[in-house]
């Protein structure tokens, strides 16, 4: 009875452990550009969102409803926390199917302590949704691959397994446009896993039918998808990653390694790879082991290949679900190691247990890699400071232009925080003609606020030189520095008589 009670409590305890770091300082950083874009697009009715931005509408639709609960950073990002916890629960169930309760709990524990998963559980973007839907699709696929005989048996007995795969795959495709890598990898994995099965013809018919349903539902979005793809291919900001950076991102995705590997991280990474390989070697049926290997390695390789053929598109977060097969293999390998230790001498069992505890503890400590790696522009602080000093008639300009959504979100919240309201901005930019014209038109006593963000920030010396060249009777009166945002105040002297 105590063991059964502990077994029932184990998953809730793992979910609690996963929730604690994900909730820690959830509102510590302000919304950055991508999160502000989420709020911008999550307005109106679902059909208004259809085809907007360069992403599918599912996430924006969900957030549009979630906003009814509140507009604070904490409440809005809580949606991502819950989705991330859903992924942990689904991975636990997949691990149970593969290797029993111990394997499921270890896999869930490893995902709970994943720095990469934690990073996107604290962001108001669709990547936690992509992880959760990928986990659902993977759970359905694992249930099918773990017992091909049952998958080919009476459909009434296994329709929920096939249905879970179909539902999860559709949700993946509607979570992110790079989700098409999931059905590609899944189809190749199933082809290699089932081609020697006695019931392969029946399995093939059901597989084709299931993927036909997925394709049919996805095709409803194709008219909106085509212009999105052409927009991304034609003009997008991402750069070509080096092989070293791509390898570093892959290490952070699956292993939790930091951007600069030290000796401890190398040893830990190699150990995790060895244990995952051990798990795949021990896993039966062999087709399931091969499928997990392909689902882990193939999507990042395919996306990196698109970089070389089409244009730079590689971002580890867009294949966040590809870390889940690795977590399952690692959890199964650890469970097999403990089982082997239990069958041997007590010293072997203690050594195996010590290795597992050490690995889990160090992986938890590696959550610092997320804290050290991830920062967001402090628009909340910069706009709050601007609101306190802003006077009616002051001018405000932004750089870069796309930060308008971040500024407008926090400008609209100033009155809620008891500060003076700020006017929204439209399509002005610091760089080029608009900035030159604005500075040149300064009159006596006029004040211009300039918010420079991210890598586009000028030093005070550069800003003073630009202002002096455009308007000799104006000068930079002050600058305040925030995280990745600088707030400049440009004032026209009393002897300025008008724009030149």
pLDDT in tens, 63-106: 999 999 998 999 999 999 999 999 999 999 999 999 999 999 99
Q: Between 460 and 332, where is the model more confident?
A: 332
- Across the range 209-225, mean pLDDT stands at 93
- Taken in order 318, 321, 206, 285, the sign of the CA dihedral is positive
**pLDDT value, residue 161:** 94
**pLDDT value, residue 498:** 55
**pLDDT value, residue 355:** 79
Distance CA 131, CA 114 (A): 12
Cβ count near 364 (within 10 Å) = 18
Q: Report yes or no: 214 and 173 within 8 Å, Cβ to Cβ.
A: yes
How are beta strands 447-453 and 474-482 bridged, if at all?
unpaired
- Across the range 341-356, mean pLDDT stands at 76
Report residue 274 as tokens: 């060895």
Backbone angles phi, psi at 399, to 5 degrees: -150, 125
pLDDT in tens, 240-297: 666 677 777 777 888 777 655 567 777 788 888 999 999 999 999 999 999 999 999 9
User: pTM (2 decimals)?
Assistant: 0.90
Torsion of CA 489, 492, 494, 498, to 10 degrees: -160
**pLDDT value, residue 105:** 94
Q: Among residues of the chain, what percentage have pLDDT more than 70? A: 86
Distance CA 40, CA 31 (A): 12
pLDDT in tens, 450-459: 888 876 677 8
Residue 31 scores a pLDDT above 50: yes
Backbone angles phi, psi at 174, to 5 degrees: -90, 0
pLDDT in tens, 2-30: 445 546 788 999 999 999 999 998 998 89
Q: Which sequence spans correspond to the domains of the chain?
A: 2-373, 379-492
**pLDDT value, residue 205:** 94
Residue 429 scores a pLDDT above 60: no
* Mean pLDDT score across all residues of the chain: 85
Q: Which of 217-231, 305-319, 321-335, 411-425 has the largest mean confidence?
A: 321-335
**pLDDT value, residue 233:** 63
pLDDT in tens, 296-318: 999 988 887 777 676 667 778 89
pLDDT in tens, 363-377: 777 777 666 566 778
- Across the range 129-136, mean pLDDT stands at 97
Q: Between 218 and 376, where is the model more confident?
A: 218
**pLDDT value, residue 46:** 63
Lowest mean pLDDT among 295-299, 345-349, 387-391: 345-349
Q: Among residues of the chain, what percentage have pLDDT more than 90? A: 44
């Amino acid at each position: 009875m105590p063991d059964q009670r502990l077994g029932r409590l184990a998953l809730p305890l793992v979910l609690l452990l996963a929730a604690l770091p994900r909730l820690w300082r959830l509102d510590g950083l302000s919304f950055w550009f991508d999160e502000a874009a989420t709020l911008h697009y999550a307005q109106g009715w679902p059909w208004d969102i259809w085809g907007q931005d360069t992403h599918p509408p599912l996430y924006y639709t969900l957030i549009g409803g979630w906003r009814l609960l509140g507009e604070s950073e904490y409440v809005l990002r809580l949606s991502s926390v819950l989705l991330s916890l859903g992924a942990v629960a689904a991975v636990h169930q997949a691990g149970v199917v593969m290797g029993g309760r111990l394997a499921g709990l270890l896999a869930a524990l490893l995902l709970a302590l994943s720095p990469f998963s934690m990073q996107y559980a604290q962001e108001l973007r669709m990547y936690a949704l992509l992880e959760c839907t990928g986990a659902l699709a993977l759970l359905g696929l694992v249930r099918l691959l773990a017992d091909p005989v049952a998958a080919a048996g009476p459909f009434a007995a296994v329709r929920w397994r096939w249905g879970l795969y179909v539902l999860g795959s559709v949700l993946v495709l509607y979570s992110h446009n790079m989700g098409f890598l999931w059905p590609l990898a899944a189809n190749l994995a199933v082809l290699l896993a089932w081609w020697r099965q006695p019931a392969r013809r029946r399995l093939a018919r059901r597989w084709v039918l299931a993927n036909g349903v997925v394709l049919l539902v996805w095709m409803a979005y194709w008219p909106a998808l085509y212009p999105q793809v052409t927009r991304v291919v034609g003009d997008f900001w991402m750069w070509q990653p080096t092989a070293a950076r791509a390898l570093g991102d892959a290490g952070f995705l699956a292993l939790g390694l930091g951007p600069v590997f030290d000796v401890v991280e190398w040893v830990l990474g190699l150990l995790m790879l060895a244990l995952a390989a051990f798990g795949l070697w021990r896993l039966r049926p062999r087709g399931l082991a091969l499928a997990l290997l392909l689902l882990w390695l193939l999507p990042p390789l395919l996306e990196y290949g698109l970089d070389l053929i089409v244009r730079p598109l590689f971002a580890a977060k867009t294949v966040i679900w590809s870390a889940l097969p690795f977590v399952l293999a690692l959890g199964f390998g650890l469970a097999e190691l403990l089982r082997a230790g239990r069958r041997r001498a007590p010293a072997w069992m203690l050594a195996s247990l010590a290795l597992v505890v050490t690995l889990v503890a160090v992986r938890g400590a590696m959550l610092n890699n997320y804290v050290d790696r991830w920062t967001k522009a402090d628009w909340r602080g910069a706009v709050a400071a601007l609101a306190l000093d802003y006077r009616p008639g002051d001018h405000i300009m932004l750089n870069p232009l796309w930060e308008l959504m971040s500024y407008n979100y926090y400008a609209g919240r100033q009155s809620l925080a008891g500060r003076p309201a700020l006017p929204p901005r439209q399509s002005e930019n610091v760089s080029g003609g608009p900035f030159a014209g604005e500075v040149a038109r300064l009159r006596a006593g006029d004040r211009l606020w300039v918010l420079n963000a991210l890598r586009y920030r000028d030093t005070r010396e550069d800003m003073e030189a630009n202002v002096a060249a455009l308007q000799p009777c104006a000068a930079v009166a002050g600058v305040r520095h925030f995280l990745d945002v600088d707030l400049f105040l440009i004032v026209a002297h009393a002897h300025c008589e008008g724009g030149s």
